[in-house]
Amino acid sequence: MFDYSAFTAAMIRDIKAYEDALPVMHEKCRSQFFLHQEPTSKVCLFFHGFTATPEQFVPIGKAFFKAGYNVLIPLLPGHGIAGNWNADNPPPLPENPEVYQQFGIHWLQKAQALGRDAIVGGLSGGSTLAGWLAVERAVQINRALLFAPYLSGTNKLVDLVVQIFNIYFEWKTKPGVTSFGYDGFLMPSLRLFLDMGEDIIQQVKKREAAPMFIVSSDKDLAVGKEEHEDLFKAAIAHQPQCWYHCFDRSLDIGHNMMTEAEGNDDVDLVIAIAKAYVESDLTWAEVEKIGDRIKQGYSFNAAVNELNLTPRVSVDMPTMMALFTNFANVRERQEVYNIDL
């Protein structure tokens, strides 16, 4: 018989010992776990971004834990390790995609032991890994939350540099904005995510992936939303429960959208639409039908009632629909949609 308490205790103990031995750069680099006393209906597995650490997913992790789910946020291989890293001594980031892929499979297996339905998600490179799992392990995954997946950059010339040159690149962080990870990296370490992203798009054109919610932003200067749109169009052709949203430029949500410390003052919107997706049971066509009625003047509740969708919508769905129907200032719509932000 599966001993949940012994399993979680051993997992936490083993990860602490492993990260102590690295050692990690600082405590915010450590893997983060938010666990209930027993398996939950859903379990979330989040992968942080290429230039970040698990701390990046603590806000959304806590939100899903509060909603009743177990949450795992492991430190990606080669990331967050203490050392005097620079161009002459670059950080030990993997250059083989199989390292990340096997890591993802390993943690998916752990997640499946902690809850009935597995939710995978990530930001940037971590989102690319989550997308790869959504394709390669589709039957094992209930939902995928892909925040700004790195499928290409916003500039084809930059993509070409990533593909060709093996240079060291130093990441520049805006004043007043937190950076959780390394200051720089060798380009082949990033290139593998670009290659993985291109493969994901090709694979979803051929076969059904797990339902995925792809989230972009017009203010994202790091990745290209055109490829996000291509991924959505390819995925929805086989899986009608895929969703897509691009944050309007007026919201000023950049690439690192998961924390206020990294510059996003509207993290609550990111969390709300993620929960709306995970906790609703709607196809994209049904989302569009709700949106059409709201644009005609229906209230949210009236729209879902007329469509007989009330039992299948999350309490966070009004926030998603406020964004979907192009209200630039979502907070002004709180009274109309009864949104508690």
d(CA 121, CA 203): 18
Alpha-carbon span 223 to 270, nearest angstrom: 17
C-alpha distances (whole Å) from 172 to each of 59, 95, 96, 236 are 24, 22, 25, 36
Before 318, cis peptide (omega within 30)? no
Confidence of residue 164 (pLDDT cuts 50, 70, 90): low
The full set of domain ranges for the chain reads 4-279, 281-341
Write the CB contacts of 296 (distance below 8 Å, at least 6 apart in sequence).
none
At a CB cut-off of 8 Å and minimum separation 6, what does 6 contact?
Answer: none
The angle that helices 187-204 and 225-236 make with each other, rounded to 10 degrees, is: 30
Whether residue 155 has pLDDT greater than 60: no
Contact 217, 154 (CB under 8 A): no
Lowest mean pLDDT among 49-53, 311-315, 335-339: 335-339
Q: What is the mean pLDDT of residues 304-318?
A: 97
Pick the CATH number of 4-279 from 3.90.650.10, 3.40.50.1820, 3.40.50.2300, 3.50.50.60: 3.40.50.1820
For 145-154, write each residue's pLDDT tens digit.
999 999 975 5
pLDDT band at 156 (very low <50, low <70, confident <90, very high): low
Contact 141, 118 (CB under 8 A): yes
Cα separation, 65 vs 71, whole angstroms: 6
The yes-or-no verdict on residue 338 having pLDDT over 50 is: no
pLDDT in tens, 236-269: 999 999 999 999 999 999 999 999 999 999 999 9
Mean pLDDT of 295-310: 95
Q: What's the count of helices (H) and strands (E) in the chain, helices before strands?
A: 12, 9
Distance CA 45, CA 106 (A): 11
pLDDT tier, 185 (very low <50, low <70, confident <90, very high otherwise): confident
Determine contact, residues 255/179, Cβ cutoff 8 Å: no
For 156-214, give the DSSP string: HHHHHHHHH---EEEPPPPTT----S-SEEEHHHHHHHHHHHHHHHHHHTTSPPPPEEE
Report whether 126 contacts 120 (CB < 8 A): no
Query: What is the per-residue pLDDT for 45?
Result: 99
pLDDT category of residue 325 using cuts at 50, 70 and 90: confident
Give the helix/strand (H/E) hosting 91.
Answer: none
DSSP 230-264: HHHHHHHTT-TT-EEEEE-GGG---S--S-TTTT-
Cβ atoms of 269 and 330 closer than 8 Å? yes
Query: pLDDT at residue 77 above 50?
Result: yes
pLDDT digits (tens, 9 = 90+) for 117-143: 999 999 999 999 999 999 999 999 999
Percent of the chain scoring above 90 in pLDDT = 79
Query: pTM value?
Result: 0.92
87 has pLDDT over 50? yes
Return the number of other C-beta atoms located less than 10 Å from residue 314's C-beta.
19
For 53, what's the count of Cα atoms within 13 Å in the CB-facing half-sphere? 22
* pLDDT for residue 329 is more than 60: no
Is the CB of residue 309 less than 8 Å from the CB of residue 282?
yes
The residue among 162 and 85 whose pLDDT is bigger is 85
Q: Does the pLDDT value for residue 197 go beyond 70?
A: yes
pLDDT in tens, 18-67: 999 999 999 999 999 999 999 999 999 999 999 899 999 999 999 999 99
Q: Place 182 in a pLDDT band, splitting at 50, 70 and 90.
A: confident
